[in-house]
């Protein structure tokens, strides 16, 4: 079937210019002159019979038509790139990329990668921490390990789940300083009473904070938030160290097993919040290379 698509050079020029909102930067990226860039854009606008950019003295802006074409063009280029990676995966890509946080990489992923490397020394695994960036795209990596609810069965990107219970932990040194036993479990209501009601809750950013959910599970009759002050510490590793240093409670999962077994942190309450965990995901549009498939299947054993 004959198509009526514009030349690829024009679409590449448009995508770069639309992404940078600058003909000069786009021309530098594509290693062409600014005049050639303007020519490609003008030729594309003539073919689609509408303006794609609004020009000003110092910058260009996308028109409504330009916005619509950019979305389609980006999607088209992404799919083309993924297909080519899949077709040439063995020759172009000897490694497999995984994005996750430094917390998960150090505590869960790294030991498993070591075991995988013993079985498959020819496959290099690249760990990326771009998952914390606002620019992160699941399609840019083979796999990603993300925290979230454990019941997202409708998520097409999910390969499998790693369930994790959450429970408060605190350093025994702080418990002793407060005159409390560090060896006996407490009733959950103790967190509402002095001296524990003044101990800070070390938490993630507000939209990720699960202290209210733990409270609703452990203290269902309580209709308000815990009285404890909250301190946001976004980095999980820093949050763990802050708890060890006696700065307050944190919600732990079993990835903190070493700190708990070594007595650096203790679990004062028996109540655990379930329904959450880590999900191993991959873009539903990404074509796996053979090496990525080997790692995916190895993880799921």
Both structure tokens of 293: 């498939």
Q: How many CA atoms lie within 13 A of 57 on its CB side?
A: 0
Q: Give yes or no for a contact between 286 and 236, defined as CB atoms under 8 angstroms apart.
A: no
- pLDDT tens readout for residues 253-286: 999 999 999 999 999 999 999 999 999 998 877 7
CATH code of 93-142+282-299, in short, is: 3.40.190.10
Beta bridge partners of 135: none
Q: How many CA atoms lie within 13 A of 250 on its CB side?
A: 28
Q: Give yes or no for a contact between 215 and 222, defined as CB atoms under 8 angstroms apart.
A: yes
Residues 6+ apart with CB under 8 A from 50: 63, 65
CA distance 109 to 88: 27
DSSP reduced 3-state for 117: helix
Residue with tokens 């880590």: 278
Residue with tokens 């003909």: 23
CA distance 251 to 204: 10
CA distance 245 to 200: 13
Residue 96: count other Cβ atoms within 10 Å of its Cβ. 24
Q: Give yes or no for a contact between 26 and 20, defined as CB atoms under 8 angstroms apart.
A: yes
CA distance 285 to 156: 10
Cis ω on the peptide bond leading into residue 143 (within 30° of 0)? no
Q: Give yes or no for a contact between 146 and 132, defined as CB atoms under 8 angstroms apart.
A: no
Q: How many CA atoms lie within 13 A of 51 on its CB side?
A: 7
Q: Name the CATH architecture for the domain at 8-87.
A: Orthogonal Bundle (1.10)
Are 8-87 and 164-277 in the same CATH fold?
no
pLDDT in tens, the chain (301 residues): 566 788 888 999 998 888 888 888 888 888 888 888 899 999 999 999 999 998 876 778 888 898 889 888 887 887 777 676 666 544 445 689 999 998 999 899 988 888 998 988 888 898 888 787 777 888 888 999 998 887 656 677 888 888 999 999 999 999 999 999 989 899 999 999 999 999 999 998 877 899 999 999 999 999 899 999 999 998 899 999 999 999 999 999 999 999 999 999 999 999 999 999 999 998 877 777 888 888 888 887 7
Domain ranges in the chain are 8-87, 93-142+282-299, 164-277
CA distance 204 to 234: 5
Q: Decide if domain 164-277 falls under CATH 3.30.230.10.
A: no
């Amino acid at each position: 079937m004959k198509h009526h698509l514009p030349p690829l050079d024009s679409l590449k020029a448009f995508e770069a210019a639309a992404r940078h909102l600058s003909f000069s930067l786009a021309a530098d990226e594509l290693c062409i002159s600014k005049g050639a860039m303007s020519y490609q854009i003008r030729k594309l606008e003539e073919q689609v019979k509408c303006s794609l950019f609004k020009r000003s003295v110092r910058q260009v802006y996308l028109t409504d038509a330009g916005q619509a074409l950019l979305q389609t063009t980006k999607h088209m280029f992404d799919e083309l790139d993924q297909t080519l990676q899949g077709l040439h995966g063995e020759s172009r890509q000897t490694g497999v990329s995984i994005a996750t946080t430094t917390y998960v990489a150090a505590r869960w992923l790294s030991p498993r990668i070591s075991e995988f490397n013993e079985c498959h020394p020819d496959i290099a695994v690249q760990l990326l921490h771009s998952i914390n960036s606002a620019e992160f795209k699941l399609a840019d990596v083979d796999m990603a390990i993300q925290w979230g609810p454990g019941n997202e069965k409708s998520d097409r990107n999910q390969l499998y789940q790693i369930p994790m219970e959450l429970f408060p932990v605190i350093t025994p040194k702080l418990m002793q300083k407060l005159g409390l036993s560090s060896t006996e479990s407490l009733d959950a209501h103790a967190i509402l009473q002095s001296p524990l009601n003044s101990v800070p809750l070390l938490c993630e950013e507000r939209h990720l904070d699960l202290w209210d959910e733990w409270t609703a599970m452990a203290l269902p009759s309580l209709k308000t938030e815990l009285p404890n002050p909250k301190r946001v510490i976004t980095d999980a590793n820093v949050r763990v160290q802050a708890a060890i240093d006696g700065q307050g409670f944190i919600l732990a999962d079993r990835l903190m097993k070493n700190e708990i077994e070594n007595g650096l942190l203790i679990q004062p309450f028996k109540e655990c919040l379930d329904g959450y965990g880590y999900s191993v995901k991959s873009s539903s549009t990404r074509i796996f290379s053979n090496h990525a498939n080997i790692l995916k299947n190895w993880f799921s054993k």
